[in-house]
Structure formats: C-alpha cells, structure tokens
C-alpha cells in the first residue's frame, strides 16, 4: 500500500498510476482520499519496486509529492487494476493545484479544424486548466467545483471514464455540446451568444474597453497600441500612472517591445503564467500611458484557451489586461457584480457561465539572480504551500495593511493566500474574511492562535480583536519581514536582518522603515535605524513626497526653510504650515523609513513632488540612475552614529551634497546613482561593525525598498563578496505581501508558550 500526499489531486495522478501499473503488469487500485492518493499494488516484487521508483522520480508534471508512505499488506489476489471512487473522510489533508495555463496538447486540438473542440474556449485536460478558482470544497471532484451544473455529454463522459484518456477524471472536462459558453454584452446593453468573440474583437479594435471574464476574475482589456483607449481606461478606472499589465500574443511579439533573456522567457512561458517585468525597448509602439516613468513593462502570455483565441482570431497582438476593479478595491469575479461595478468603466463585456469561486489576481514577478522574485504571489501559485523546515502549531497570520495576504499553517506547510489587496475598504475586508474561511475549509485547519501586526489601527488587527475568539499575539512589522526570509530558508538562529521599507508601526509608536535588526525565531533586537525625522501629515506624506523633502531640509539645513521655498516655491504657503506642524508636532509622527528617504531625495531632485501610488518616486529615482553608466559623483557618506545602545544612520552629509549638486545642475542620473551607492555603502560599513559584536555572518534582506533592483543587487552582491551569507525572499514578496508568512512562522513556534 502506498499513501501519497501533496498536490496529487486534479493533476492526472490516478490515470498516471493506472497506466504505470498496466505497463508494469501490476494489479490493485488507486483512489483519491482526503489525505491525497491511496494506491494498492500487487504483483512481481521487481515491478513493484520499479513502480515506487518511477512514481517518486517522475510524477505527472503538475504533481508535487510531499510525503509518501509504503506499507506491506497481505495480497488480495484480485485481478486487474482499477480506479475506485473517492471517499471523503473527516480529515482533509490533501493539497489543491493552482490554476494552470492551457497545455500544448489542448492548444493543438483547439487549433485543429477537425477536432471536436476546435475553437472551444473552455478546452482543458488533466494537465491544464482551472483548479483553485473553481473549487468550493475537497476532495477535488466535479461536484465540488463550479462545473457541477454541467452534465457531461456522452463523448466527454467516455473520455472522463477512460483511464487511458488525457481527460480521464479531468473534473472541468467539457466541450461545446455540454460545457460552458460565452456571451457578449455590447454598448447597447444587449446580450448575445452569437459570435461573442468576433463582437469583442471588433469592439477592442474600435478602441473600446472590454471587461473579460478570465480564470481568477475579470480583466479590463484595451488595445495597448491605442493611446486614446488606454487613456480612457486610466481615467475611468482612476488608476493614474501606476503601470498597467500587458497580455502579449507570443514571445516573438514580446521581443519587439521588450528585452528578453533566457530566464524571463522561462518564467513567462511556465505553467503558472505570471506577469513578468521585462525591460522596455525604446521604440516599442506601445501607448506611452502604459507604464510612464518606468523602465519595465509587466507582461504575461495568454493563459486560458479564451485568451489564446482572442489573439488568434483577431489582429490585436498586445492588450492591456488589468484587474477589473476601481482603484484598490477587490477584482470583480461574478458576472452581475462586474456589470454593476464596471458600468462606468467597461463599454462591453465578454462573459461565460463557468463560475469563479475564488478570486485570484495575476501574479507579478521580477527576475533576480536569474530566479523569480515575486512582487505578488497569486494566481498560478496560490494555494501551493511554502514548505517549512519543521512542524509547529497551526496558526493564522493576518498580514499587513497594504498588499494584504493571509497565511494559514498546518504541520510544516504554510498556505499563503492569494493577493487580497489594501485593507482600506469594506469590500476588501470582506474578501479578507472570505479568504480566511476558504483556506480553513479547504485545508481543514482551525488555528490555535492568530498572529497580527503590532499596529493597533490596522483593519486586520481590529478584525482579530473584534471578530474572533481565538487567542492572538502581535509582532512588529519589520521583524515579520525578516522572519518571512527566515521561514523560507529554515533559519532559526541569530541573523542580521536589514528591513528597508515604507512604513511599519514600531514598538515606540514611531513609524519604522529603515531597520537593522538582530533576529532569531523567538525575538529580535533593534540594532540600527535611520535618524528619526518628522513625517508631516502622516500618511499624506506618502503620496506627497515634497512634504518629506521639506522635513529633511528643515532638519539638516540651517536655511532649510529658504531651500524648501526655492525647490517647492509654488507651495510656499504650505511650507509654512508644515513648519508649524513639525514645531507643534501636529499629526506629525516620527519616522525612520527608508522609503520616505527615497521620496525626499526624488522630490529635492525635482523628479516628483506628488505621486499617484506609494513608492512611485523611488521607481523614478531608480529608473533615472540607468541613464548613465558612470559613478563619478561623490556625495559622501551616511554616517553611523552610536546613540543609546543603537546605531543611528545619519544622512546629513549626503543630503547636503544632493542639494548642492541639484543647485549646481549636476546630472540627475549621477546623483541618483551616487545616492544608491551611499545607501549600499552604509550597510556594508554597518555590518562590518556588527560582525565584531555579533557572532553571525548571515544576513537577510527584506522590505518593500528591495523591489528596487539597483539597491537589492548592489547590496546583495557586495555583502556576498565580503563573505556574508545573504538571503532574501524567493517564494513570497519582499513587500508587505510576504509578511503574513513571517508572522505565521513566528506564531508556529512561539504562541502557546510562555513569553
Ligand atoms: Zn490540456
Ligand atoms: Zn461534452
Ligand atoms: Fe512593510
């Protein structure tokens, strides 16, 4: 008897076992159960061993075996090999596959005029198609998916029943006779199932905005080569300047608009089909509105049969495909909901009747050191667990405030949710609650503890305190960032964590964000941080970087006020107010945020005084550094000053040089490079000092600022060159999308024990 657990359901595991046993002339059976898959084989010992060997080393492509237990049982002498019915037992230990892009076999059938699924937009098989987003409960059987309402036609049923068929027990199996269908709603609000795709393509070609139902929710689509259409989309969606994702016909087309290398091609075309950030080509023919001030396009390839058909049937090769939502609200995933919420944005709709049960935005990644580097881990990856080095108690971690994700643990597995969004409105809070419920149902875990952020005002903190009865503990934001790296690499002992970030609530109630922490699995100590300075207007300064610039000028310059007026003259009235706010400490928390330092520098350099989204000024600052290759400018050092048992990082000298160079008209690209170098340099000097005091050579880098590739690459490489062992996140984002994993890791090993 062989018991296998992991991602073994809905990935063609049973037909694979069936075919393998036939080949090796073994008898017995295979079935799904709530722990995974149960196999009994009987026959020649050699063949049986071979069976186990092949199963372990060459499982089906989508399967992920986490555990395998082999036991000897008495023979039954029953002939033949069978696939038997699943039993749904109490405990649910199985895992669920993420949604997978259409496989090559299915694509070929879809393009073949003689195939019965020619141009059928819901073609799939056991090797591909939707999974997580159509499941309401486990075990993974058709009756527990949104395909339950479609009964298989005789031909589909035959495939479904035939163990030798690629669609054997493919739960979403369907064809145009028995399966889901498309419909189109046009500008005239009329609904039709006649040539819906043709109508969609015509509308897009005319520059209309279409809401297209996808795998994890709706996209808003527009022709990316049509400047006017993209502009209209931005205005209606209230999404200004933040880059819009593109879906591009094929790799060949991508290579005409962006630079590709081996690794970006691998990631773009893998089964998970994430959005990959690819460096733009100069003359790319894409509307400038897509990603202004940014060196990268976020690009994905088509991942559903419907997407494939959109590109094959029409003459559009690059589409904007952005989540159907308004500013930061959750993505739409139900037809009626979409029509109501998108009525002022979309001109037309392409809908279908295969329901989405779980919304799931597209995943986004950068490439770092030739490996994926997640900006958002969502569709195609969730709910695949992060596998931890050892077991702990079950906890629920509710994440941060922005880019929220939650994380539920069971044994040594951490189930990180898909991207939920910014917990700033009730709709998102609702999705947050739904996601927690759903994870608990699918993995049948009731957490013993909940871990949340230290911030008392976070919606997630309030939810834990007001809506749950489970005991809970809080941990500091930047400690959680570092813990997320520790979780991924199984680190438990003392390490130096460098958390460079936007904002997180500190133990002293200040806004932390430029922190060097000594961390272990149980506790942390703050070693160093950026010199505190006022953040006039609190949150407001995040979208108004000039406020931080004024704050820096006032702090470090005797004539700060005059300088502020000379840089932001048109705001002189407000500068006055800011001075008073700082003086009277009105709505002016103190901060050590590295993100805000980036903002201030960008504002002083005149790149941006206000931004459309958090971190935009830093993105622009990073981007202009690429415009030169010379590092001739010396802007001095960020000083390291001992103070009350901490090291304070004091940017006084570099601020003076930045201001001087700006006034003297030095090239901004060089100033930006020098600024990045100074940041890298201060941490190199700091860890050199720390190495004398602390017995560790392990360093973890995390926090949103490390999405800046210049900073990350520079610091990582130079730390490595100096003999440190350096780690950063690989499976979860360095931004706040990853902190639920850090919280969970801490909770698993500390909650329930005496502090
Ligand atoms: Zn397929
Ligand atoms: Zn059918
Ligand atoms: Fe953070």
| pLDDT tens string 584-628 | 999 999 999 999 999 999 999 999 999 999 899 999 999 999 998
**3-state class of 622 per DSSP?**
helix
Tell me which residue of 392, 304, 274 sits closest to 123, measured CA to CA: 304
All residues at 6 or more sequence positions from 602 whose CB lies less than 8 Å from its CB, including other chains: 545, 608, 617, 618, 620, 621
**Which range among 57-71, 253-267, 446-460, 539-553 shows the weakest confidence by mean pLDDT?**
57-71
pLDDT at 573 over 80: no
Cα–Cα distance for residue pair 88/141, rounded to 1 Å:
10
116 alpha carbon – ligand 2 mean position (Å): 9
| Average pLDDT of the residues in 46-72 | 90
Could you tell me which residues are beta bridge partners of residue 210? 221, 348
| Average pLDDT of the residues in 451-457 | 97
99 alpha carbon – ligand 2 mean position (Å): 21
Q: Which ligand is nearest to the CA of 156?
A: 2
Q: Which ligand is nearest to the CA of 151?
A: 2
Cα–Cα distance for residue pair 233/236, rounded to 1 Å:
5
703 alpha carbon – ligand 3 mean position (Å): 5
As separate numbers, helices (DSSP H) first and strands (DSSP E) second, the chain gives: 23, 31
pLDDT at 76 over 90: no
Q: Which ligand is nearest to the CA of 304?
A: 1
Long-range contacts of 102-109 (CB under 8 A, 24+ apart): 102/128, 102/129, 102/302, 102/303, 102/304, 102/305, 102/308, 103/127, 103/128, 105/166, 106/305, 107/305, 107/308
Long-range contacts of 369-375 (CB under 8 A, 24+ apart): 369/716, 370/263, 371/263, 371/730, 372/267, 372/274, 372/730, 373/728, 373/729, 373/730, 373/734, 374/729, 374/730, 374/731, 374/732, 374/733, 374/737, 374/738, 375/277, 375/707, 375/733, 375/735, 375/737
| Average pLDDT of the residues in 201-226 | 97
Could you tell me which residues are beta bridge partners of residue 511? 505, 591
704 alpha carbon – ligand 3 mean position (Å): 6
485 alpha carbon – ligand 1 mean position (Å): 35
Q: What is the pLDDT of residue 164?
A: 81
**3-state class of 129 per DSSP?**
strand
6 alpha carbon – ligand 1 mean position (Å): 21
Q: What is the pLDDT of residue 326?
A: 83
**Which range among 167-171, 326-330, 634-638, 657-661 shows the weakest confidence by mean pLDDT?**
326-330
Q: Which ligand is nearest to the CA of 481?
A: 3
Q: What is the pLDDT of residue 88?
A: 60
734 alpha carbon – ligand 3 mean position (Å): 8
C-alpha neighbours within 13 Å on the C-beta side of residue 248: 28
155 alpha carbon – ligand 2 mean position (Å): 6
C-alpha neighbours within 13 Å on the C-beta side of residue 543: 7
pLDDT at 91 over 60: no
Q: What is the pLDDT of residue 754?
A: 58
83 alpha carbon – ligand 2 mean position (Å): 22
CB atoms closer than 10 angstroms to residue 382: 26
Could you tell me which residues are beta bridge partners of residue 474? 452
Residues 589 and 510 sit within 8 Å (Cβ to Cβ): yes
Residues 484 and 517 sit within 8 Å (Cβ to Cβ): no
477 alpha carbon – ligand 3 mean position (Å): 6
- CA-to-CA separations, 407 to 123, 186, 219, 465, in angstroms, rounded: 32, 40, 26, 18
User: How many percent of the chain have pLDDT more than 70?
Assistant: 99
Higher pLDDT, residue 490 or 96: 490
93 alpha carbon – ligand 1 mean position (Å): 26
Tell me which residue of 543, 389, 397, 562 sits closest to 463, measured CA to CA: 397
Residues 99 and 216 sit within 8 Å (Cβ to Cβ): yes
Cα–Cα distance for residue pair 644/394, rounded to 1 Å:
39
Q: What is the pLDDT of residue 283?
A: 87
Residues 596 and 535 sit within 8 Å (Cβ to Cβ): yes
**Which range among 1-10, 181-190, 644-653 shows the weakest confidence by mean pLDDT?**
1-10
300 alpha carbon – ligand 2 mean position (Å): 30
pLDDT at 212 over 80: yes
User: Which residue reads 């018991």 in tokens?
Assistant: 3
Q: Name the region of 691 (left: φ>0; alpha: ψ -120 to 50; beta: rest).
A: alpha
122 alpha carbon – ligand 2 mean position (Å): 11
Q: Which ligand is nearest to the CA of 175?
A: 2
| Average pLDDT of the residues in 388-404 | 96
253-300 residue pLDDT tens: 999 999 999 999 999 999 999 999 999 998 899 999 999 989 999 999
**Which range among 56-60, 105-109, 419-423, 659-663 shows the weakest confidence by mean pLDDT?**
56-60
Highest-confidence range of 57-66, 630-639, 722-731, by mean pLDDT?
722-731
370 alpha carbon – ligand 1 mean position (Å): 28
C-alpha neighbours within 13 Å on the C-beta side of residue 657: 16
97 alpha carbon – ligand 2 mean position (Å): 23
159 alpha carbon – ligand 2 mean position (Å): 9
Q: What is the pLDDT of residue 430?
A: 95
145 alpha carbon – ligand 2 mean position (Å): 17
Q: What is the pLDDT of residue 647?
A: 98
pLDDT at 305 over 80: yes
pLDDT at 755 over 60: no
166 alpha carbon – ligand 1 mean position (Å): 8
How confident is the prediction for the chain on average, in pLDDT? 94
478 alpha carbon – ligand 3 mean position (Å): 6
pLDDT at 726 over 70: yes
Return the sign of the alpha-carbon dihedral for residues 192, 197, 203, 207. Answer: positive
Tell me which residue of 25, 65, 17, 4 sits closest to 168, measured CA to CA: 17
CB atoms closer than 10 angstroms to residue 44: 12
Tell me which residue of 672, 678, 667 sits closest to 625, measured CA to CA: 672
173 alpha carbon – ligand 1 mean position (Å): 10
| Average pLDDT of the residues in 96-122 | 95
Q: What is the pLDDT of residue 92?
A: 59
Q: Which ligand is nearest to the CA of 12?
A: 1
Q: Which ligand is nearest to the CA of 515?
A: 3
C-alpha neighbours within 13 Å on the C-beta side of residue 464: 25
C-alpha neighbours within 13 Å on the C-beta side of residue 603: 31
Note the maximum CA span of the chain.
93
501 alpha carbon – ligand 3 mean position (Å): 5
149 alpha carbon – ligand 1 mean position (Å): 21
Q: What is the pLDDT of residue 93?
A: 66
146 alpha carbon – ligand 1 mean position (Å): 18
| Token pair of 474 as six digits | 């809080």
| Average pLDDT of the residues in 375-382 | 94
State the DSSP H helix or E strand holding residue 263, giving kind and residue range, or none if neither.
helix 262-269
Q: Which ligand is nearest to the CA of 513?
A: 3
For residue 569, name the pLDDT band (cuts at 50, 70, 90).
Answer: confident
Higher pLDDT, residue 89 or 143: 143
119 alpha carbon – ligand 2 mean position (Å): 14
The DSSP call for residue 131 is -
Cα–Cα distance for residue pair 96/324, rounded to 1 Å:
26
For residue 660, name the pLDDT band (cuts at 50, 70, 90).
Answer: very high
180 alpha carbon – ligand 2 mean position (Å): 10
15 alpha carbon – ligand 1 mean position (Å): 14
User: Which residue reads 């008898």 in tokens?
Assistant: 27
237 alpha carbon – ligand 3 mean position (Å): 26
Q: Which ligand is nearest to the CA of 707?
A: 3
21 alpha carbon – ligand 2 mean position (Å): 28
Q: Which ligand is nearest to the CA of 61?
A: 1
Q: Which ligand is nearest to the CA of 170?
A: 1
| Average pLDDT of the residues in 509-526 | 98
Q: Rg of the chain over CA atoms, in angstroms?
A: 27
User: How many percent of the chain have pLDDT more than 90?
Assistant: 85
| Average pLDDT of the residues in 660-689 | 97
CB atoms closer than 10 angstroms to residue 576: 13
Q: Which ligand is nearest to the CA of 705?
A: 3
pLDDT at 570 over 80: no
C-alpha neighbours within 13 Å on the C-beta side of residue 245: 22
499 alpha carbon – ligand 3 mean position (Å): 8
Residues 237 and 335 sit within 8 Å (Cβ to Cβ): no
| Token pair of 54 as six digits | 């092949």
Separation of first and last alpha carbons in the chain: 44
85 alpha carbon – ligand 2 mean position (Å): 22
């Amino acid at each position: 008897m062989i018991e296998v657990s992991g991602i073994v359901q809905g990935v063609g595991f049973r037909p694979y076992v069936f075919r393998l046993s036939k080949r090796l002339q073994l008898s017995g059976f295979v079935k799904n159960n709530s722990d995974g898959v149960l196999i009994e084989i009987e026959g020649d010992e050699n063949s049986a061993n071979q069976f186990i060997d092949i199963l372990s080393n060459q499982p089906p492509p989508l399967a992920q075996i986490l555990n395998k237990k082999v036991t000897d049982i008495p023979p039954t002498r029953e002939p033949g090999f069978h696939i038997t019915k699943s039993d749904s037992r109490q405990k649910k230990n199985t895992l669920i596959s993420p949604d997978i892009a259409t496989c090559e076999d299915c694509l070929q059938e879809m393009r073949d005029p003689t195939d019965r699924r020619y141009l059928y937009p819901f073609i799939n098989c056991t090797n591909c198609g939707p999974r997580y987003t159509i499941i309401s409960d486990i075990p993974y059987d058709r009756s527990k998916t949104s395909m339950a309402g479609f009964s298989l036609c005789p031909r589909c049923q035959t495939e479904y029943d035939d163990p030798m068929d690629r669609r054997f027990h493919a739960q979403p199996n369907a064809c145009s006779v028995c399966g889901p269908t498309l419909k189109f709603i046009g500008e005239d609000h009329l609904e039709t199932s006649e040539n819906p795709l043709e109508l969609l393509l015509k509308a897009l070609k005319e520059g209309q905005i279409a809401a297209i139902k996808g795998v994890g929710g709706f996209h808003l689509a527009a022709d990316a080569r049509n400047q006017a259409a993209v502009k209209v989309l931005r205005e209606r969606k209230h999404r200004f300047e933040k880059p819009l994702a593109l879906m591009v016909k094929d790799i060949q087309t991508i290579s005409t608009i962006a630079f590709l290398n081996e690794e970006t091609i691998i990631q773009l075309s893998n089964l998970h089909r994430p959005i990959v950030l690819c460096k733009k080509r100069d003359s790319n023919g894409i509307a400038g509105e897509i990603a202004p001030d940014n060196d990268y396009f976020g690009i994905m390839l088509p991942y559903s049969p419907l997407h494939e058909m959109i590109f094959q049937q029409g003459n559009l090769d690059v589409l904007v495909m952005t989540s159907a939502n308004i500013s930061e609200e959750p993505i739409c995933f139900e037809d009626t909901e979409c029509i109501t919420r998108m009525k002022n944005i979309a001109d037309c709709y392409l809908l279908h009747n295969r329901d989405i049960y779980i919304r799931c935005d597209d995943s986004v990644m950068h490439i770092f050191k030739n490996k994926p580097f997640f900006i958002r881990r969502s569709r195609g990856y969730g709910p695949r667990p992060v596998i931890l080095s050892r077991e702990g108690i079950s906890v629920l971690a509710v994440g941060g405030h922005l880019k929220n994700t939650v994380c539920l643990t069971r044994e040594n597995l951490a189930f990180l949710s898909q991207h939920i969004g910014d917990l700033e409105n009730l709709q998102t809070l609702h999705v947050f609650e739904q996601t927690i419920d759903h994870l608990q149902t699918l993995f049948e875990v009731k957490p013993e503890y909940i871990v949340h952020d230290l911030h008392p005002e976070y919606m997630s903190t309030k939810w834990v305190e007001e809506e749950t009865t489970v005991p809970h503990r809080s941990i500091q934001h930047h400690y959680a960032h570092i813990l997320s790296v520790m979780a991924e690499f199984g680190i438990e002992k003392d390490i130096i964590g460098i958390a460079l970030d936007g904002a997180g609530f500190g133990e002293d109630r200040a806004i932390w964000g430029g922190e060097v922490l000594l961390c272990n699995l149980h506790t942390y100590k703050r070693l160093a941080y950026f010199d505190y300075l006022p953040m006039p207007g609190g949150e407001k300064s995040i979208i108004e970087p000039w406020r931080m610039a004024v704050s820096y000028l006032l702090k470090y310059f005797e004539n700060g006020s005059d300088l502020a007026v000379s840089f932001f003259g048109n705001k002189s009235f407000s500068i006055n107010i800011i001075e008073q706010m700082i003086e009277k400490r009105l709505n002016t928390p103190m901060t050590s945020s590295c993100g805000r330092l980036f903002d201030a520098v960008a504002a002083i350099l005149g790149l941006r005084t206000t931004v459309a989204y958090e971190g935009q000024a830093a993105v622009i600052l990073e981007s202009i550094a690429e415009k030169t290759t010379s590092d001739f400018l010396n802007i001095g050092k960020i000083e390291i000053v001992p103070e009350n048992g901490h090291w304070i990082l004091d940017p006084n000298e570099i601020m003076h040089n930045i201001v001087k160079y700006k006034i003297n008209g030095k090239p901004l690209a060089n100033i930006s490079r020098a600024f990045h170098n100074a940041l890298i340099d201060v941490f190199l000097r700091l860890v050199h000092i720390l190495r004398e005091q602390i017995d560790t050579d392990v360093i973890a880098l995390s926090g949103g600022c490390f999405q800046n590739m210049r900073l990350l690459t520079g610091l990582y490489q130079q730390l490595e060159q100096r003999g440190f062992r350096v780690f950063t996140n690989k499976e979860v984002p360095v931004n706040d999308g990853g902190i639920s994993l850090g919280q969970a890791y801490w909770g698993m090993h500390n909650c329930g024990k005496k502090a």
